[in-house]
Each structure stands twice: as C-alpha cells, then as structure tokens.
Amino acid sequence: MKPAPPLGIFGGTFDPIHNGHIYPVMEGAEKANIRKVALMPCYIPSHKNPAAASSEDRLKMVELVCADHVLFYPDSRDIDRGKPTFSVDSLTEIRTAKPNTPLCFFIGTDSLKNLMTWHKWPTLFELCHFVVCERKAESVKTLKNHADNSLKQYVPQLQALLKTRQTFNPMDLHNSLAGRIYVANTQTLTVSSSKIRQLLTNNQSVANFLPPKILDYIQQHNLYQTSADFC
Ligand code: ATP
C-alpha cells in the first residue's frame, strides 16, 4: 500500500516559542513537501523552574502561532499526560494512530548531535524520519569540530548513523514510513528561548525574535519577569 502523505512533528519546550522554531521548520517542510506539522510542547513539572512559563502558557503561545500558519497545528498530548515523558512515547502513540503515515520529526542540529542521549533513541528510527534544521554553529558538516566535550564520544556513532540513514532526496520521506535523516540546510536564525528569557528579565527588546502576538501574550501575562536558569 502506498504511504499516506507525511506528517511533520516538532517537539520542544517552547518556553517561549520563537522565530528560530517557526521559520526553519517552515523552510524544511517546504523543501520536503510536508504539508502539516504538529507542534508538540513537552510537559515540564511546574516545580522544576519557577520562572519559566507554565505548560498552559507554553501551549497557548503555540496555539497562537498555529492560528497564523496553516502548516502548523497544536498537539497537546505530551502536556495532557501531566507527567514528564519522552519523544518515543508520543511517537509510539502517533504511529499507532497513523500506521500508514510517514512521520517526520523535526529537530535542530544541536538536537541531532545529542540524539544518542535520548531515551530509546534507536527505536525512534523505527517510528519516524528526522528532518534536521540548521542551528548556528551547529552545522552537520562540522560535526567533529563543534561537538562539545560531553558529546564528543558520540561523534563516530553519529557519523555512522548519517552514513547509513542520511538521504538527500526528500521523496524518501514520502516513500517509506521511518528510518531516514534529511538535513534540510535551512537558513540559520540565531535565537534561543533562554536568550529571550534573559533579555526579557533584563527589560531588553526581544521584538526581533518573536511574532508580535507572542510578545503581546508574554506582556499581558507577565511571563519571564524573574531571573531563571539561563542555560
Ligand atoms: P532553550 O534556549 O530554553 O534551551 P531552545 O530555543 O533551544 O530553548 P527548545 O524548545 O528547547 O528551544 O527546542 C526545540 C527544538 O527546536 C530543538 O530541536 C532545537 O534544536 C530547535 N531549535 C530551537 N531554536 C532553534 C533555532 N534558532 N534554529 C533551529 N532550530 C532551533
């Protein structure tokens, strides 16, 4: 049976969601001809980081972005579980619901580099493809140079993984259900949620890094006003 059109899935903390989440994924989806991408904020226990936004606020901000971009829709399954879970849990659930749909999990190059630290990472390749978006100073081409010390040990494994699984033809994401890595070579946007939280706490402008609606939401709900961990 021919697979159904692929579904993109983009998981993150989205604390807050920003342009570096939105535009690289839009570009990657366009290149891979993926018409729908689920934005899936992860659950964070509220006691873990008191200055970061609640699950409800993070989901609300994701919904505001979805309302403006037909590519995206919100998927709250991770938050709805109300306890910390792993990407593999959500992907297993989606796979069960959509047995004939190629699933394309979007990640930044920083996440590709630490993939081997993810829970049950080899299983992920039975469940989904990966679409990798560039993140500044984290190019896939310079894997060796940029892997920090804690990740250096994974570089040979990651290179071997790319050798067997990387495809340069996005149609491979349409013709099989899972198992390939497509590096979308998207434009880099140098922005992170932690940087945005830091700027907001210091009363500095973040207007260049976020959609105006998200900034309005942050201001209306007095989010990110106290100092937090700025990992
Ligand atoms: P924080 O700064 O709090 O660690 P973050 O900005 O990295 O947050 P996350 O929600 O943790 O955002 O990231 C979710 C996904 O988005 C990850 O796969 C990450 O690689 C990707 N991502 C985040 N920012 C960018 C960016 N500027 N360009 C490309 N990918 C990004």
Q: Residue 91's domain spans which residues?
A: 7-190
Asked whether residue 147 carries a pLDDT value surpassing 60, the answer given is no
Distance (Å, rounded) from C-alpha 215 to C-alpha 212? Answer: 5
Residue 157 lies in a domain: yes
Number of domains in the chain: 1
Asked whether residue 139 carries a pLDDT value surpassing 70, the answer given is no
Quick: pLDDT tens for 152-193. Answer: 888 888 999 999 999 999 999 999 999 999 999 899 899 999
Residue 23 sits in a domain of what CATH number? 3.40.50.620
Residue 206 lies in a domain: no
For helices 55-68 and 212-220, what crossing angle results, to 10°? 150
Asked whether residue 22 carries a pLDDT value surpassing 80, the answer given is yes
pTM: 0.92
Distance of CA 30 to the CA centre of its chain: 16
Q: What percent of the chain has pLDDT over 90?
A: 74
Residue 231 lies in a domain: no
Distance 142 CA to ligand 1 centre (A): 19
Q: 30: Cβ–Cβ under 8 A, 6 or more apart, which residues?
A: none
Q: Is residue 122 exposed (0-12), middle (13-18) or buried (19+ Cβ within 10 Å)?
A: exposed
What is the residue-averaged pLDDT of the chain?
90
Quick: pLDDT tens for 34-78. Answer: 999 999 999 976 665 655 899 999 999 999 999 999 999 999 999
Q: What share of the chain is helix, strand, coil (3-state, %, to 5)?
A: 45, 15, 45
Greater model confidence, 213 or 190: 213
Q: Report the atom number in ligand 1 closest to the C-alpha of 191.
A: 27
Are the C-beta atoms of residues 149 and 107 closer than 8 Å to each other? no
Residue 218 lies in a domain: no
Are the C-beta atoms of residues 73 and 38 closer than 8 Å to each other? yes
Are the C-beta atoms of residues 91 and 128 closer than 8 Å to each other? yes
Q: List, chain by chain if needed, residues with CB within 6 Å of any ligand 1 atom.
A: 12-15, 20-21, 24, 107-108, 110-111, 133, 135, 189, 191-194, 231
